[in-house]
Amino acid sequence: MSYQCPRCGDRVTRIFPRRVPGFGLLGPMVYFLFVSCECARCGLIPRREFAPEDRRKMALTTLAMMTLAAAGVSLAVFLIAYLTRLR
């Protein structure tokens, strides 16, 4: 999902750093939800510079991704508990 740069109108992408925090699979998933945006021409773009509707879309996308991540982790824990109980 990409947005337009508020400064030049070019595409904005999320920055993916080389080092990601631990905590198994959950750490990187949550970390990537809050990474900064970058324009190829303008560099780093703080979220406050985006239009209110773009910030709203970013927030809703972040909320949806966090919900899916939490649901996936919950499902994994449930399945592990269920399969362990069958033994």
The pTM of the full predicted model, rounded to 2 decimals, is 0.67
Q: pLDDT (tens digit, 9 = 90+) per residue, 17-47?
A: 666 666 666 676 667 667 778 898 999 898 8
| Domain range summary for the chain, segments of one domain joined by + | 3-86
> Helix H segments across the chain?
26-33, 52-86
Rounded to whole angstroms, the Cα distance separating 45 from 38 reads 6
Take residue 62 and report the two structure tokens written for it. 């972040």
Residue 47 is given by DSSP the state G
Q: pLDDT (tens digit, 9 = 90+) per residue, 50-84?
A: 999 988 988 888 788 888 888 988 999 999 999 99
